């Protein structure tokens, strides 16, 4: 038996069936070829094996033509290829074994599940509440029951008090809702909210103005707020609320920190430092005596759980002290502006 090379593309059409299969199997590699060979009839398998034995190489042009012919034969007269859960299950089990394949498929499937009404999570709660107030209480109950509790609570508190009670009653009394009913409600809410809820990027407002003023020098800040106070006192007060937050204490230099610490009630400070980053805590500890710092750490560690409201109130009292000391020029806040010193 003499070894040969399969003919070039120009004469590939004259290949026998066995030669075509042999060329294809050499092209696709041993693993796939073995899979194909096991599905052939014994007679054809023997012929193909004989061709493989005597075929030294497959020229690129022959390889391309054989692949093209194979593709055409497989797909030219077929309907749409079928995927879906059953195909995925078979594929995963074949690739990874039954247990690992099914575990992987379950994880992938879980990650693809979209919670009902998830589009409401990105919407303004006030706008959602306004939309739901015009819906039947049962519809509102279905929506809130499927939302994350914190989000649902925010929306519920914005509803009319009488409606709040009715919606709460219906949530409590509804054991289950069919997926079909949920889908109908979700489609209706989605369609209506597209014309009511507008997701937008805020580029103005009181907080953005305060953030800008926090970056200017103190003289400029006072001039702007003073003029704003004359034009609209209420607006100026609202801007001031955003002017300095507790975390901004990190802008104080060490001398100012030490002055501030002397003014703060220890109980307020132990509360205020509970939900801030370690860097700000370290800044306070570094500007206290070692004994005072240890006492503060001990108090923070034994305080137990504390309401967020109490922490925020303590932080607010400390911020008021910062503002008072700054107005009296007893501390300096490094806002990054120029012209602070003459």
pLDDT tens for 232-265 read 888 888 887 777 778 889 889 999 999 999 999 9
* Interatomic CA distance for residues 11 and 84, integer angstroms: 41
Cβ contact 219:249 at 8 Å: no
Instruction: Quote the pLDDT of residue 342.
Output: 39
- Show the DSSP H helices in 76-205 as ranges: 84-96, 98-112, 125-132, 137-146, 149-157, 161-173, 179-196
pLDDT digits (tens, 9 = 90+) for 258-316: 999 999 999 999 999 988 889 999 999 999 999 999 999 888 887 667 788 888 888 88
* Interatomic CA distance for residues 141 and 155, integer angstroms: 11
* Interatomic CA distance for residues 165 and 141, integer angstroms: 11
Q: Which residues contact 141 (CB under 8 A, 6 or more apart)?
A: 167, 170, 171, 174
Instruction: Quote the pLDDT of residue 67.
Output: 81
Main-chain dihedrals φ then ψ at residue 280, nearest 5 degrees: -70, -40
Torsion (CA) 269, 272, 274, 278 in degrees, nearest 10: -80
The enclosing H or E element of 4 equals strand 4-5
Long-range contacts of 52-57, Cβ-Cβ distance < 8 Å, separation of 24 or more: 52/22, 52/25, 52/26, 53/1, 54/1, 54/2, 54/3, 54/4, 55/3, 55/4, 55/5, 55/6, 55/19, 55/22, 55/23, 55/26, 56/3, 56/4, 56/5, 57/5, 57/6
Instruction: Quote the pLDDT of residue 9.
Output: 41
* Residue ranges, the chain, pLDDT below 70: 1-14, 73-85, 87-88, 91-92, 104-105, 107-114, 175, 195-205, 211, 214-219, 303-304, 335-342
Question: Is the CATH code 1.10.220.30 the one for domain 245-336?
Answer: yes
Instruction: Go through the chain and tell me how many residues it has.
Output: 342
Report which of 300, 288, 295, 298 is spatially closest to residue 263, judged by C-alpha positions.
288
Cβ contact 295:280 at 8 Å: no
Report which of 1, 18, 17, 20 is spatially closest to residue 9, judged by C-alpha positions.
20
Question: Is the CATH code 1.20.5.2020 the one for domain 201-243?
Answer: yes
Instruction: Quote the pLDDT of residue 130.
Output: 85
Instruction: Quote the pLDDT of residue 113.
Output: 60
Cβ contact 156:128 at 8 Å: no
Q: Please check whether the two domains, 201-243 and 245-336, share a CATH topology.
A: no
* Interatomic CA distance for residues 173 and 166, integer angstroms: 11
- Strands 55-57 and 4-5: what pairing? parallel
Residue with tokens 């800008």: 212
Main-chain dihedrals φ then ψ at residue 15, nearest 5 degrees: -70, 145
Specify which residues 55 forms β-bridges with. Answer: 4
The CATH code that applies to domain 118-196 is 1.10.220.30
The domain segmentation of the chain, as residue ranges, is 4-75, 118-196, 201-243, 245-336
Instruction: Quote the pLDDT of residue 255.
Output: 94
Angle between helices 278-286 and 254-263 (to 10 degrees): 80
Instruction: Quote the pLDDT of residue 204.
Output: 54
Half-sphere exposure of 290 (CA within 13 A, CB side): 0
Instruction: Quote the pLDDT of residue 229.
Output: 85
Instruction: Quote the pLDDT of residue 283.
Output: 94
Structure tokens at 189: 């809410």
- Show the DSSP H helices in 158-307 as ranges: 161-173, 179-196, 206-213, 218-231, 233-243, 254-263, 266-272, 278-286, 290-301
Structure tokens at 216: 């200017």
């Amino acid at each position: 038996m003499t070894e040969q090379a399969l003919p070039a593309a120009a004469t590939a059409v004259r290949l026998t069936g066995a030669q075509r299969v042999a060329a294809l199997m050499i092209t696709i590699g041993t693993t796939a070829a073995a899979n194909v060979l096991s599905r052939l009839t014994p007679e054809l398998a023997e012929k193909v094996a004989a061709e493989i034995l005597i075929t030294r190489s497959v020229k690129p042009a022959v390889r391309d033509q054989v692949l093209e012919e194979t593709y055409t034969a497989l797909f030219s007269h077929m309907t749409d290829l079928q995927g879906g859960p059953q195909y995925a299950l078979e594929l995963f089990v074949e690739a990874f074994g039954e247990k690992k394949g099914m575990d992987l498929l379950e994880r992938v499937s879980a990650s693809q599940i979209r919670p009902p009404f998830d589009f409401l999570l990105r919407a303004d709660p006030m706008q959602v509440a306004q939309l739901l107030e015009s819906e039947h209480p049962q519809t509102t109950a279905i929506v809130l029951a499927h939302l994350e509790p914190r989000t649902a609570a925010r929306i519920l508190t914005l509803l009319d008090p009488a409606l709040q009670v009715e919606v709460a009653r219906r949530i409590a009394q509804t054991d289950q809702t069919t997926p079909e009913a949920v889908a109908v409600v979700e489609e209706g809410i989605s369609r209506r909210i597209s014309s009511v809820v507008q997701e937008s990027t805020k580029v103005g407002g009181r907080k953005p103005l305060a953030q800008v003023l926090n970056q200017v020098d103190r003289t400029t800040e006072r001039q702007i707020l003073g003029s704003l106070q004359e034009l609209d006192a209420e607006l100026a007060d609202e801007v001031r609320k955003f002017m300095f937050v507790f975390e901004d204490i990190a802008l104080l230099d060490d001398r100012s920190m030490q002055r501030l610490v002397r003014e703060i009630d220890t109980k307020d400070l132990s509360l205020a430092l509970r939900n801030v980053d370690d860097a700000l805590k370290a800044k306070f500890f570094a500007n206290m005596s070692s004994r005072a710092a240890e006492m503060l750490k001990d108090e923070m560690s034994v305080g137990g759980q504390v309401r967020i409201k109490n922490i925020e109130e303590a932080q607010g009292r400390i911020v008021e002290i910062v503002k008072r000391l700054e107005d009296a020029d007893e501390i300096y806040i490094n806002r990054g502006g120029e012209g602070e010193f003459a």
